[in-house]
């Protein structure tokens, strides 16, 4: 409980500004499991109940359905991620992997600045969710972070990313987070295979 309380207090020892691209990426994967997937399933269930034909869009694999899924995913993810980052400086994934976003003075950046930051992440970091483009933008952002200490969205937005001090608690948190990502995505993949069977 103390770890969570300290994580949510700005300036509570989270001063390491060295680049940690892998931890930042893992934090986003974790958020995909604990924030994005539940929101997506809730929205698709409601939409399918309201309009049964929408099941083809939410669960379809054709190009039109994929574009729809990417756009709707961004629409539901970006404001929610921005709320967490804007108010607390962490999302569940950032908390798990020891990543915090703030102003240079350690203060909360607020929802509007966090929303702009998330939009920049979506465009410049995730390449609008387009598979090959996303891979290229992720690699470019990783190189930029390693070379300059900043990503484009943090440099342009004036935000600072700091990290939790290393130690046993940090290592345990990372291990739990990685295990959750692996198990969660394996379960998600297995569920999608079962759902696609006739």
Domain tally, the chain: 1
Contact assessment for residue 168 and residue 156, using Cβ atoms and an 8 Å cutoff: no
Contact assessment for residue 43 and residue 76, using Cβ atoms and an 8 Å cutoff: yes
pLDDT at residue 83 is higher than 70? yes
In this prediction, residue 3 carries a pLDDT of: 47
pLDDT at residue 84 is higher than 50? yes
Distance CA 170, CA 186 (A): 24
Query: What 3-state DSSP class applies to 167?
Result: coil
Distance CA 173, CA 90 (A): 14
Tell me the whole-structure pTM to 2 decimals. 0.84
Residue 2: pLDDT band (50, 70, 90) is very low
- Look over the chain and give the mean of its residue pLDDT values, rounded to a whole number: 86
Per residue in 104-133, pLDDT (tens digit) is 998 999 999 999 999 999 999 999 888 899
In this prediction, residue 164 carries a pLDDT of: 92
Q: Which residues contact 151 (CB under 8 A, 6 or more apart)?
A: 121, 124, 125, 141, 144, 145, 161
Domain, as residue range, for 191: 2-196
Per residue in 165-180, pLDDT (tens digit) is 888 999 999 999 999 9
Per residue in 13-58, pLDDT (tens digit) is 788 888 899 999 999 999 999 998 888 788 778 877 888 777 676 6
Instruction: Give, to the nearest 10 degrees, the angle between helix 21-31 and helix 131-148.
Output: 140
Contact assessment for residue 160 and residue 17, using Cβ atoms and an 8 Å cutoff: yes
In this prediction, residue 11 carries a pLDDT of: 46
In this prediction, residue 86 carries a pLDDT of: 97
Contact assessment for residue 81 and residue 91, using Cβ atoms and an 8 Å cutoff: yes
The 8 Å CB, 24+ separation contacts for 174-178 are 174/23, 174/26, 174/96, 174/97, 174/98, 176/96, 177/26, 177/27, 177/30, 177/93, 177/96, 177/97, 178/26
């Amino acid at each position: 409980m103390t770890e969570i309380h300290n994580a949510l207090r700005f300036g509570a020892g989270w001063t390491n500004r060295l680049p940690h691209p892998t931890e930042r990426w893992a934090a986003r994967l974790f958020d995909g499991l604990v924030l994005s997937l539940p929101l997506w399933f809730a929205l698709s269930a409601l939409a399918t109940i309201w309009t049964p034909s929408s099941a083809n869009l939410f669960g379809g694999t054709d190009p039109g359905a994929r574009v729809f899924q990417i756009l709707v995913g961004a629409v539901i993810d970006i404001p929610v991620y921005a709320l967490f980052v804007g108010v607390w400086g962490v999302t569940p994934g950032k908390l798990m992997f020891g990543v915090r976003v703030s102003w240079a003075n350690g203060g909360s950046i607020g929802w509007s600045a966090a929303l702009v930051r998330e939009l920049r992440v979506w465009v410049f970091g995730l390449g609008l969710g387009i598979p090959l483009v996303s891979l290229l933008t992720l690699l470019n952002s990783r190189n930029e972070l390693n070379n300059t200490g900043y990503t484009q969205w943090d440099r342009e937005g004036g935000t600072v990313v700091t990290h939790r001090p290393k130690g046993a608690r940090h290592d345990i948190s990372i291990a739990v987070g990685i295990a959750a990502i692996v198990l969660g995505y394996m379960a998600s993949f297995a569920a999608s295979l079962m759902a696609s069977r006739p």
